[in-house]
Structure 1
Amino acid sequence: MKDTIMKTDRMILRKMRRDDAENLLEIFSDPTAMEYYPSTKNEKQTLHWIDWTLENYEKHGTGLWVAEHKQTGEFLGQVAERIGMTLEKTIHKWGKEIAVYSVYR
């Protein structure tokens, strides 16, 4: 799959798509999940977030990624490039358990 950024034994990191809106909205509309953001987001704001991310792929060649469970395809959330870079280094240096744990934290 050309949108795949990285795979581990348990998950896939891939580029965000507009059809991720429903899953992202579930996170963005949850006050607990958005505790450290300025506010929650509605559907329109979530679609704007996705469009902004897609524009970043075009302009900068990178952006936020979606994490999916490798076996089930379940949406796990989004991660930033720095976390992904850290994950990749951690996977190679320390092993998969730390990397997977850092995404789930």
Structure 2
Amino acid sequence: METIRIVTKRLKFRNMRLDDAANLMEIFTDPEAMKYYPSTKDESRTLEWIEWTLANYANHGVGLWIVEDRETGEFLGQCGIVPQVVDDITQMEIGYLFKRSEWGNGYATEAASACKKYGFETLTLDKIISLPDVENIPSCKVAERIGMKVEKTIFKWGKDVHVYSIVKSEYN
């Protein structure tokens, strides 16, 4: 039985599996989709990504989830909540990455908004962050559309990233 984590008007989220590698590689081998990541990923690195995600499920109860079209089940991308260390403190980040063919449909905003709701209402988090590359304007706009504001800019993953955040009192 598939664990459906979140359902929205157009999307459904489920746990990632090893057999999602081919779908994820549609994103990970696309240089444009991976522009703000250190590099594209081959099958081996994609499987490592899935293993990292499965470890997050086991260790933290959260991770990136596969996002599918609610009606057709078509793979659209991934979105979820992952632990990230910022200034020596582990915080929960909403991360999102979708197939380029699906960009511009509002899926990232819809998915990130659903993760924010899940984080505050189901996980009872006090604060949620997002860490887009400072030059990744579309991802910054997603964070802003879901109510996050830039808290600061840090150097992480060899580049400058904004720390967007929202606290539970701003969500309610």
**TM bin (shorter chain):** 0.7 to 0.9
Residues 22-41 of structure 1: pairs in structure 2 closer than 5 A: 22-41=22-41
Q: Is the 8 A contact 2:62 2:80 kept in 1?
A: no
User: How many angstroms apart in 1 are the aligned matches of 2:68 and 2:117?
Assistant: 15
Gaps of 5+ in 1: 90-101
Moved runs in structure 1, 4+ residues, more than 4 A? none
Percent sequence identity over aligned pairs: 52
Give 2:56's aligned residue: 56
Higher RCO (C-alpha under 8 Å, 6+ residues apart): 1
| Greater C-alpha Rg | 2
User: How many angstroms apart in 1 are the aligned matches of 2:115 and 2:32?
Assistant: 26
Residue 115 (structure 2) pairs with residue 85 (structure 1): yes
Aligned to 2:41, the other structure's residue is in SS state coil
Residue 66 (structure 2) pairs with residue 66 (structure 1): yes
User: How many angstroms apart in 1 are the aligned matches of 2:44 and 2:74?
Assistant: 23
User: How many angstroms apart in 2 are the aligned matches of 1:62 and 1:8?
Assistant: 18
Across the aligned residues of Structure 1 and Structure 2, the Cα RMSD in angstroms comes to: 1.8
Structure with higher helix content: 1
Aligned to 1:76, the other structure's residue is in SS state strand
User: How many angstroms apart in 2 are the aligned matches of 1:57 and 1:23?
Assistant: 20
Aligned to 1:33, the other structure's residue is in SS state coil
User: How many angstroms apart in 2 are the aligned matches of 1:61 and 1:88?
Assistant: 12
1:8: how far off?
Answer: 1.3
Give 1:10's aligned residue: 10
Give 1:42's aligned residue: 42
User: How many angstroms apart in 2 are the aligned matches of 1:2 and 1:46?
Assistant: 21
The worse-fitting range, judged by mean Cα deviation, of 1-10 and 67-76 is: 1-10
1:86: how far off?
Answer: 2.2
Count of paired positions: 90
Aligned to 1:50, the other structure's residue is in SS state helix
Alignment deviations for residues 11-63 of structure 1 (CA, whole Å, 9 cap, x no partner): 10111111110000110011000000000000000001001100110111111
AA matched with 2:69: H
User: How many angstroms apart in 1 are the aligned matches of 2:76 and 2:13?
Assistant: 10
